[in-house]
Amino acid sequence: MGLFDKVSGGIIKGVQNINDEIKRRQEIKEAKYCLLERMTIYDIKKLNRVYGVGQPSGYEEDFNGNRTRITLNRDDYVDHAAENLTLDQIKDFSEKNKKRTPASINEPKEKIVVNPLKYELPVKEETSAQSAFKPKPATQPSFSDYDDILKYITEFKPEDISSEKDFQKQLTIHLRTKYKEKVEREFATPRGKIDIVIDKRFAFELKIADNKGVLRNLKGQVHDYKKEFKSTTVILLDVSKLSDAIINEFVVDCQNMGVKTLKIKGVLKKAKPKSK
């Protein structure tokens, strides 16, 4: 084996190790959500208190650093617990409080494989007790037609948006009314987190089109994400800060990269001035 073969072999092995680590982290993340989705919001608040990670912030900051009070929902508490607690901590709390724990999480030699349909961790052999707790499969729409998803997104009518995170939350809620647990927020990839991924195949990057610099930087992001997902779409919130000519130029640039762009009209909420 020549020097070139050794070097190229080492590079390939290194890339594979990185991909394996990302896959492992994604499996752990999904296992966390599997347990958290079976808890009430009261249990999740208690879980956060027990391990001293606090509660999610009731404020969001806009681009100018101004803080705005927001109404927290169950997803906020679930996300906070998943980001700040380990799988062992969540599992330990679940077991002590007699929450249903999927059997495969307790099998250290078994690889964690998550069923994206219901965040259920399947096991090779199912006991009668496990079968009794098995949720009924939900009816899911077909994902054979990507245009169906895009059409559903165009039906989205956002409330006044305070930040990109707010934009992401509102659109996620809209998508989950139809596509349920197949919708994932802040999906981790080797090239960074993508705002929304559906069915682990369709990627959506969200941006508030309020200045030219945002669009310029976004081109580099979607160029990388296109390498991870064949079906990648940019969703722009048009808040009437940029001309149609500037936005159309960006749309054409994305088309040249094989990336679709959807434009949604919205209102950027004015931040409340900081109290002195």
Q: If you average pLDDT over residues 121-135, what whole number do you get? A: 42
Annotate 9-27 with b (16+ C-beta within 10 A) or e (fewer): eeeeeeeeeeeeeeeeebb
Residue 10, pLDDT > 50, answer yes
Which comes out higher in pLDDT, residue 18 or 268? 268
Which conformational region is residue 78 in: left (phi greater than 0), alpha (psi within -120 to 50 degrees), or beta?
alpha
Position 106 scores a pLDDT of 45
Q: If you average pLDDT over residues 65-89, what whole number do you get? A: 82
The SS3 of residue 193 is strand
Position 7 scores a pLDDT of 58
Which comes out higher in pLDDT, residue 102 or 3? 3
Residue 262, pLDDT > 90, answer yes
Give all domains of the chain, ordered by start, each with its CATH number: 3-132 (no CATH), 146-265 (3.40.50)
d(CA 264, CA 208): 10
pLDDT (tens digit, 9 = 90+) per residue, 27-40?
Answer: 888 888 888 888 88
Task: Please name the residue that has the structure tokens 């559906």.
Answer: 198
pLDDT, averaged across the chain? 77
Which comes out higher in pLDDT, residue 7 or 57? 57
Position 110 scores a pLDDT of 40
Query: Which of 98-102, 194-198, 202-206 shows the lowest mean pLDDT across its residues?
Result: 98-102
Helices marked H in 99-243: 128-132, 146-154, 164-179, 212-228
Joined tokens for residue 157: 């009518």
Provide CB contacts within 8 A for 51, sequence distance 6+. Answer: 84, 85, 89, 93
